[in-house]
Homo-oligomer: A and B are copies of this chain.
Amino acid sequence: MTQTKKQEQEDLLLLDKQLCFPLYAASRLVTRLYQPLLEPLGLTYPQYIVLMILWEDAPCSVSHICDRALLNTNTLTPLLKRLENDGFVVRTRSKIDERAVEITLTEKGKNTKTQCKHVPQEMSKSLCMPDSKLATLKQSLEDLIADLQEQ
């Protein structure tokens, strides 16, 4: 291999050339931004994601939440147990299919939606980017996810 070609190939390992790193860093930074909004409600960021799913779809099964959150039961079972412990949800074995666990929102779980109403607004205030650019970014990420899910 020529010196030039070797150099080019090594340069692909520069941090600034990676897509993965800004993805990883942006995700963590955005999560940090949510933390002070969610902490007063006694929620973590992944718990907030799961509650959003439940506000749309509850009562529903654990596997339904897995599908929407793109998380596995090894993450979701403990998370849902904590949500149950904290009084947001109830976990019940399905009568129709004894393998399945149905997740139901408690009154507290339902009411938390009202207390979260301000969260999206606060976030879009913090993400000081034009809405059109945010929309494009969101769409690109969704395209990426669709690609990755097929694999």
> CB within 8 Å of B: which residues of A?
9-10, 12-15, 17-31, 33-34, 45, 49, 52-53, 55-56, 68-70, 113, 116-117, 119-121, 123, 126-129, 133-134, 136-138, 140-145, 147-149, 151
A23 touches B30 (CB 8 A): yes
Determine chain A's interface SS by DSSP, over half rule.
Answer: helix
Assembly stoichiometry (copies): 2
**Closest B residue, CB atoms, query A46:** B24
Report how far A117 CA is from B28 CA in the complex, Å: 26
Report chain B residues within 8 Å CB of A129: 143-144, 147
Partner of A70, one of B9, B29, B126, B127: B29
In the complex with contacts A13-B117, A137-B141, A141-B23, A52-B147 CB distance below 8 A: no
Report how far A132 CA is from B136 CA in the complex, Å: 14
